[in-house]
Structure 1
């Protein structure tokens, strides 16, 4: 293990993060400026779009440098835990964006893809960043093939999601008052709220982490063996967020004061037996609370729904172009995901556990994701679902992808639980 290379790798990742942030801001200037400039809007957008793309591309180069230096310094491909995989997924989304940009050259796609990358990179930084030794199941070259191909397929789904969301903001008229229009407006705003909740999660985690908050519980776990003997194990559970839900059957060992909180408000239900189930439930609740607070602040500042604020900036964009880009992007991702998440995954599963399929939660949700996008392509090609219907399918599909990636690893128990460590 090469510590100097790993240090350089971490620095390169941080540089990539800030360049992605700068690229997102630059794309915002590109789109907003083209709307309000007194000069030729097309020339303005072309010049600033090129600047934004170069900044984003530099971030991608730094991200690639992080990936390969961590690989060389750590001794294995950096996709074996949540930190490494999420960072790799963000890199693949940027690669997918580069491919799509090379084909269509639409600056507005960057305005919606770059913030998604920024959020995913920031999310990866929540997890432990140390290089961990590979468990036996991961010591296979099929791991490299399976993970990289599946992540690339999911990355194209992500760009398809960003384009579909942009399409919805373009076609949903926030000035209409009809019941159908209001329903579409509400659903678009719900998607915005989900995005803000993701930001709220990052705000809460990094905020309390910066404050050095910590709460420690001692939890007793009682199991009964086949012989009828009670085995009692004592575990220490460390929280980095104030405990709204404390572990089941636990006592406070040490807790920092927060608005007078000296114990958990509620006890986690006993039937939640997943790995760190109490801490994860507590994190989800905090994410929702922080996200809703952030959303309330945004609404107070904007004085209108987020979708209604973004809608005017989409005028002048051809929704049919967005529909085509979203479809073609997902069409590229579908065979990649099929190979990576199903075919190569089953080969790896046979090598690691001597069976192709075992109904592990991760396997089940990978299959659900594949079936969903199969239905998407069927409805589009055979049933003529274009426009708004197709866009909603693409948006919902990526929500399914994110649950497969994050929810399964962090909420459900299975053979892939190691990835949440």
Structure 2
């Protein structure tokens, strides 16, 4: 790209607009989170009312048939019905149905999330045009761009699957990412440091952003999978359903399969990221691998997800074990981005903090 003297000047006005729209996006994301949370609360209440009505109908049918039976009861005397385990508002195929679509709060949340993504996208691209470069040259930009990819991928997925049950998780995660970027890693708009002034930053870092976003969405799926698995196990043991709102979430098996597919794509992208990083390292420092902390932890992430995919495909690791292994992989991603960037000295110490 040449020396800093040959670089175009920073557009300070666009930089200010970028910060303003980033703040507006974060505020809208918080409102989105509230509406998704209200949707879960309202759905929880509706499910309880539906169960009560269904129970009364069952009792009427039993009485009319001349049979009187008592429903099963949990430890606290609460009635336990079979459909608490098998019947979900969102099917395992995650398709839109008449029952699942009748959720006003969720529809409002999706519309507001579209607005938030538009504001967020303007903020990211305004910063890119302000500096005349790609918007992922430091931790602030990587985190804010990564948050945009997470929310954008989620919105695109909503056209094909009913993933609104993840709305509160995704909007909450994106809000935390934007707050973390703004509060933890505030960085003025500026030119790239010389080490990053290479065409490889477009290829290497952009794929890393997409891979990390897929890992984040998969992480959300795995957490919900563990919650659903725990809930269904308790109900099968005759205990009361303490999380009826999870009826709006598909079964644990469906969540696991969806997370597995996302992790497969993310792993392929991360593999390319590691390879592209090695090629860039050879061009910049004259070697493909030097055991730099960033290189080591990028490889650790690759090993964890490779182990996850291998164990699930050939070793029969399904259910909570595979979910925990996937979660460990994402925690390694977070560790690599935060702790390694901030506290480990190495050739990659140009995160802007």
Classify the secondary structure of the residue corresponding to 1:171: helix
- Higher strand proportion: 1
Tell me how far 1:44 sits from its aligned partner. 6.3
> For residue 161 of structure 1, what is the aligned residue in structure 2?
219
| Other-structure match for 1:26 | 35
Distance change (3 Å), C-alpha of 1:100 and 1:334: farther
Per-residue displacement from partner, 1:99-158 (whole Å, max 9, x unpaired)?
433332221112212211111111001222301332211101111111110110011000
Structure 1 residue 119 corresponds to structure 2 residue 173: no
Distance in 1, Cα, partners of 2:125 & 2:277: 23
Q: Are 1:346 and 1:357, in contact at CA under 8 Å, matched by a contact in 2? A: yes
How far apart in 1 are the matches of 2:200 and 2:27? 33
- The structural deviation recorded for 1:46 is 3.9
Equivalent residues of 1:112, 1:166 under 8 A apart: no
Deviation at 1:386, TM superposition (A): 1.6
Corresponding residue SS for 1:413: coil
Instruction: Give me the whole-angstrom Cα distance separating, in 1, the residues matched to 2:160 and 2:263.
Output: 14
Deviation at 1:316, TM superposition (A): 5.2
1:41-80 superposed matches below 5 A: 42=99, 45-80=102-137
Look up the SS of the partner of 2:305 in the other structure. helix
Assess if the C-alpha contact under 8 Å between 2:187 and 2:352 holds in 1: no
Residue 142 of structure 1, aligned match among 187, 200, 203? 200
Give, in angstroms, the shift of residue 174 of structure 1. Answer: 10
* Deviation at residue 175 of structure 1 after TM alignment: 9.5
CA distance in 2, matches of 1:17, 1:174: 35
Task: Write out per-residue CA displacement over residues 149-208 of structure 1, whole angstroms, 9 at most, x where no aligned residue.
Answer: 0110011000000010011111114996xxxxxxxxxxxxxxxxxxxxxxxxxxxxxxxx
C-alpha change, 1:87 and 1:329, in structure 2 (3 Å) is: same
Residue equivalent to 2:150? 93
CA deviations over 1:305-332 (Å, ceiling 9, x no partner) = xxx97x4421353222211221111112
Aligned to 1:339, what secondary structure does the other structure show?
helix
Higher relative contact order (CA 8 A, sep 6+): 2
Show the counterpart of 1:181. none
Distance 1:96 1:365 in 2: 25
Determine if the alignment matches structure 1 residue 152 to structure 2 residue 210.
Answer: yes
| Aligned-residue offset at 1:52 | 1.4
TM-score between both structures, scaled by the size of structure 1: 0.65
What does residue 329 of structure 1 align with? 262
Residues 325 and 45 of structure 1: CA distance in aligned 2, closer, same or farther (over 3 Å)? farther
Relative distance call for 1:389 and 1:43 in structure 2 (3 A) is: closer
Change (3 A) 1:396 1:43: closer
Q: Is 1:315 equivalent to 2:315 in the alignment? A: no
Kept after mapping to 2: 8 A contact 1:152/1:333: yes
Residue correspondences, number: 289
- What is the aligned-residue RMSD (CA, Å)? 2.3
- 2:14 matched to 1:81? no
TM-score (norm 2): 0.76
CA offset at residue 420 of structure 1? 4.4
Report what 2:4 is aligned to: none
Contact in 1 for aligned 2:36/2:106 (Cα 8 Å): yes
Is 1:15 aligned to residue 24 of structure 2? yes
Query: Corresponding residue for 1:171?
Result: 229
Structure number, greater radius of gyration = 2
What is the alpha-carbon distance in structure 1 between the residues aligned to residue 191 and residue 272 of structure 2? Answer: 27
Q: Distance in 2 between matches of 1:399 and 1:335?
A: 18
8 Å CA contact 1:31, 1:45 repeated in 2 = no
Which of 304, 328, 336 is the matching residue for 1:404? 336
**Counterpart check, 1:376 vs 2:314:** no
Structure 1 residue aligned with 2:323: 391
> Which blocks of at least 5 consecutive residues in structure 2 are unaligned?
1-9, 52-88, 90-98, 235-240
